[in-house]
Structure 1
Amino acid sequence: MTSGLHHITAITRKIQANVDFYCGFLGLRLVKRTGGFEDAAQLHLFYGDAVAGPGSLVTFLAWEDGSPGRVGHGAASEIAFAIQPDAIGFWLTRALQFGVAATGPATEFAEPVLRLIDPDGVIVKLVGTSAVEPGAAWPVRGIEARDAITRLRAATLLSEQPQQTADFLTRHAGFRVSATEGTITRLTSESGQGIDVRDASGFWPAAPGTGAIDHVALRMADRAAVEAQATELKSSGDDTINMHDRKYFYSLYVREPAGCLIELASDGPGFAIDEPLETLGDQLFIPEHFHLRPQDIVPMLPQFALPGEPRTIYRDLSFVHRIHEPDAGDGSTLVLLHGTGGNEASLLPFARKIAPSSTLLGLRGRATEEGVARFFRRFGPRDFDQKDIVAEAEAFAAFIEDAKQAYGIDEMRLRFAGYSNGANFLAATIMLHPGVVREAMLLRPMPVQSDPPKADLSGTRIQMVIGSDDPAAGESEILAKQLRDRGARITLTRVAGDHNLSDEDVTAGTAGFV
């Protein structure tokens, strides 16, 4: 029976820092970049050895600016990589050079262990061992092949039922108990890789989120082996099984008795089935079952650069934001403000269609209503918090000034687009802070200020796009008059449809932003 670790999957909050750590510091190869199989707008990165071999892989789902998770029972708590025993000194020195938090070395199960902390707080162990056969090292400047990480060593599971967890892994994944140290039982596989089951009785339960390990995947020889385990699990009454074709491997997900999510994954067909091994990881794969065009999803995925590539350095500004660079830019910047319930990525696909050569800067509103983001509070459907509008407009104006400096934005080529709540907020900002917004597209807007201030908006150009069947269309016209009375140049465009955006809005936006 093929056994061992296939991959370990965790969740990251900042994808660029994650790439820098796993590729730049640890020296792993980026072997695949995909949209998520459950959510195509969630970036999923796979790191591994030079040939993306099963047992070398660690993967990360990107939850940009997501809430932190919590380590606890019912989940994995550590990722361990195998290195040569005499490479511990090299990695301790490298950690000091790179400013990576490290403790040790210490001895665990007669092996030297150096503990590191990744940018999201995940514990990463480097274990000096000869028990695991090395994989194919990926050449990285500053890391000799003899020091390189090539395989996973182990994963640590926190369990309130350690005996039942161990029995499950023995029965369904080909592991066997090989040693015990304190509250930790080590199970070893045919490959020499292990799982450490730690008795976590009395701990708090795990909670999903960034910095948490989502699941541990264990090796199966092929799809038939996965299906055989599914049959056995079902026959024993387990109803937690989910079967999936992940293109690069076939797998099932199941909760072991203590609640840890375990994936049983086939070795094949492998990651080189849709791109050459030499360029593995260069292409973005979008799962076919979403039936999405790349232009509809790619702009929503966070961009990143591999070590040595040009990159945008994100600054810690007052609004959560996302930058999307075009393939060939013209020096212009388009700032995007989403509607109620959206986020910093919501308008990126629309904006990329109407402004293919612009740098896109998407913002997330800082007010929340029943858990969804908005740009200002409201007390009811037509009762808007006037003080919050004023305060957030002032903060937004300050953000724009800071962003100009932080990202080198040319204010003469700066434009804005907002939809629904974002459009309402943009209109209020235009009147509260004349000059901050000189050119804007307002999609499905309505007035929200009870007493808009007098302002000189001469030189301000605004395109308003109204849905012919939108219940708020009449209020959009009231807003247009408010802005026109203050000297703004208004172009009012009506498109077929209601409050939702459509392809007609793309046509209108493209024409308006020429």
Structure 2
Amino acid sequence: MSGIHHVTAIAGNALRNLDFYTRTLGLRLVKKTVNFDDPGTYHFYYGDEAGRPGTILTFFPWEHAAAGRGGVGQTHQTAFRVPARSIGYWTHRFIENGVTYEPLEKRFGETVLAFTDPDGMSLALVGVPGAENEAGWSDGEVPAEHAIRGFHGVTLLLDSAAKTGAILTDVFGFKETGREGSTIRYQASDAAGGIVDIYEAKGFLPGRLGRGSVHHIAFRAADDVEEAEMARKLVRDHGMHPTEQKDRNYFRSIYFREPGGVLFEIATDIPGFAVDEPLASLGQELKLPAFLEPHRKEIENVLPAVGKAKAA
């Protein structure tokens, strides 16, 4: 059960974001809702067919957000996993679609294709041997055999890894599995979302949140009981001060800022994204939490028009 639940980032234009992630990358829009704390802004959730934990990348598209700046105290890169034999397919796809990408490189023995989205967010595809045996979702934009299989992991850019690494291992069930240059790898499992790399970069400029930045990283808890135990460990053993639990409809969350400055969330696996619409039609309609439903008309009037996602 350990690993990343979801990653949430900041985008600019909502339609451009939707087009890139559903068409260019072939992810499924599993939920179209709003930022519960800022309901004039969409909250898009992209993932696999069911939006399983470990596959979910979410965005707040703020049209006029200033560009972020990468630096210490931020998520440096978010990486997806694909079958090792699919890296060539993706390189050609990026060329055909005008996606900015970097030359192939090796990290911890794996082939990595780094690229950026239209807002400048740093992303990568990692070729994983055996990933072809994992379920891949396709709506026809990307053939199922080459489809993204969820997250490989994230890279955090921090002054120092020690205190953050202690939380990853003690609270979230990761283990240190390798070092390469200034990067330390922590791994929870071989499954989707099982890796956090910490790139130690003491003395680098601090990052600045904005368009193209990751807002927070969420880690998995099976249920409320496990989440509460994690919170107790954070307070008792690591001097952290997590928030009270917040109901996000599709999971329940607590938040805290880890010692390196990155906002961490712990999110429950339950109840999941089929709680308010059928699996077959996920992401087709705007979904609102009960407390915002009376304001649907006003909310729909201020949200930019994006139409319906392509039918599954």
TM-score scaled by structure 2?
0.93
Q: Is the 8 A contact 2:223 2:268 kept in 1?
A: yes
Look up the match of 1:129. Answer: 128
Q: What secondary structure, in the 3-state scheme, does the structure 1 residue paired with 2:199 have?
A: strand
Map 1:422-441 → 2, pairs under 5 A = none
The answer as to whether partners of 1:88 and 1:114 remain within 8 angstroms in 2 is yes
Shift of 1:235: 2.8
Matched, 1:59 2:61: no
Structure 2 residue matching 1:124: 3-state secondary structure: strand
Residue 285 of structure 1 aligns to a residue whose secondary structure is: coil
Mark the CA change 1:131 to 1:88 in structure 2 (over 3 Å): closer, same or farther.
same
- Asked whether 1:160 is paired with 2:162, we answer no
* Other structure's SS at 2:19 match: helix
Cα deviation for residue 145 of structure 1 reads 1.4
Aligned to 1:88: 87
**Secondary structure in structure 1 of the residue aligned to 2:96:** helix
* Counterpart in the other structure of 1:176: 175
Which residue is 1:209 aligned to?
A: 210
Q: Shift in Å at residue 224 of structure 1?
A: 1.1
Q: Deviations over 1:51-74 (max 9, x none)?
A: 111111000001111111211111
More displaced 10-residue stretch of structure 1: 87-96 or 248-257: 248-257
Query: C-alpha displacement at 1:191, in angstroms?
Result: 4.4
Deviations along 1:433-459, one digit per CA (max 9) or x if unpaired, are xxxxxxxxxxxxxxxxxxxxxxxxxxx
* Residue pairs, 1:349-360, within 5 angstroms: none
Q: Report the Cα offset of residue 238 of structure 1.
A: 2.3
Q: Report 1 or 2 for greater relative contact order, CA contacts < 8 Å, sequence distance ≥ 6.
A: 2
Q: Distance in 2 between matches of 1:134 and 1:42?
A: 37
Residue by residue, what CA displacement relative to the aligned partner does 1:126-170 show, whole Å, maximum 9, x if unpaired? 000137686532223242211110210011111112111111111
Post-superposition offset of 1:14: 0.9
Contact kept, 8 Å, 1:111 with 1:129, in 2: the verdict is yes
Shift in CA distance, 176/120, structure 1 to aligned 2, threshold 3 Å: same
| Distance (Å, rounded) in 2 between the aligned partners of 1:212 and 1:14 | 14
Secondary structure of 2:291's partner?
helix
Structure 2 counterpart of 1:295: 297
Alpha carbons of 1:70 and 1:26: their partners in 2 closer, same or farther (altered >3 Å)?
A: same
- CA-CA distance at 1:95 after TM superposition: 0.5
Deviation at 1:291, TM superposition (A): 6.0
The alignment of Structure 1 onto Structure 2 pairs a total of residues equal to 308
2:283 touches 2:309 (CA, 8 Å); kept in 1? Answer: no
Query: In the aligned structure 1, how far is the partner of 2:103 from the partner of 2:73?
Result: 27
Partners of 2:136 and 2:293 in 1: how far apart?
A: 36
**C-alpha distance 126-280 of structure 1, shift in aligned 2 (>3 A):** same
Q: State whether structure 2 residue 196 is matched by structure 1 residue 198.
A: no
Q: Conserved in 2, the CA contact under 8 Å of 1:223 and 1:251?
A: no
Structure 2 residue aligned with 1:500: none
Aligned to 1:104: 103
Secondary structure in 2 matching 1:69? coil
Question: Structure 1 CA distance, aligned partners of 2:288 and 2:309?
Answer: 24
- State the partner residue of 1:15: 14
Counterpart of 1:173 in 2: which secondary structure?
coil
What is the rounded CA distance, in whole Å, between the counterparts of 1:27 and 1:307 in structure 2? 12
For 1:307 and 1:27, how far apart are their aligned partners in 2? 12
Contact 2:2 2:189 in 1 (8 A): yes
Confirm or deny: 8 A CA contact 1:24 1:307 kept in the other structure: no
Give the aligned partner of residue 34 of structure 1.
Answer: 33
1:339-378 deviation per Cα after TM superposition (whole angstroms, max 9, x unaligned): xxxxxxxxxxxxxxxxxxxxxxxxxxxxxxxxxxxxxxxx
Q: What CA distance in whole angstroms lies between the structure 1 residues aligned with 2:265 and 2:190?
A: 17
Equivalent runs, 1:234-253 vs 2, <5 Å: 234-236=235-237, 237-253=239-255
SS of corresponding position for 1:42: strand
- State the Cα distance separating 1:239 from its structure 2 match: 2.4
User: Against the structure 1 CA distance between its residues 7 and 229, is the aligned structure 2 distance closer, same or farther, given a 3 Å change threshold?
Assistant: same
Secondary structure, counterpart of 1:40 in structure 2: strand
Q: Distance in 2 between matches of 1:308 and 1:54?
A: 22
Q: How far apart, CA to CA, are the structure 2 residues paired with 1:71 and 1:243? A: 29
Task: Write the letter of the residue equivalent to 2:212.
Answer: G
> Shift of the alpha carbon at 1:77?
1.5
Task: Tell me, in whole angstroms, the C-alpha distance in 2 between the residues paired with 1:133 and 1:190.
Answer: 17
> 1:282 offset after TM fit, Å?
1.1
Q: How far apart are residue 232 of structure 1 and its match?
A: 2.1
Q: Name the Cα RMSD after superposition.
A: 1.8
Matched residues in 2 for 1:96 and 1:133: separation?
A: 23
Match in the other structure for 2:227:
226
Q: Any conservation in 1 of the 2:131–2:149 contact (CA below 8 Å)?
A: no
Deviations 1:76-106 (A, max 9, x none): 1211000000000000000011111111211
Secondary structure of the corresponding residue to residue 21 of structure 1: helix
Task: Give the match for residue 264 of structure 1.
Answer: 266
Q: Percent identity at matched positions?
A: 37
Contact 1:20 1:307 in 2 (8 A): no
Match of 1:149 in 2: 148
Within a 5 Å distance, the mapping from 1:468-479 to structure 2 comes to none
Which whole-Å CA distance do the structure 1 matches of 2:215 and 2:37 have between them? 14
> Among 253, 256, 268, which residue is 1:254 paired with?
256
Comparing 289-298 with 39-48, greater Cα deviation is found at 289-298
| Stretches of structure 2 lacking an aligned partner (at least 5 in a row) | none
TM superposition shift of 1:182:
0.6
Distance 2:149 2:87 in 1: 14
Q: Is the 8 A contact 1:88 1:105 kept in 2?
A: no
Matching residue of 1:312: none
Letter in 2 for 1:71: G
Normalised by the size of structure 1, how large is the TM-score? 0.58
1:282 aligns with 2:284: yes
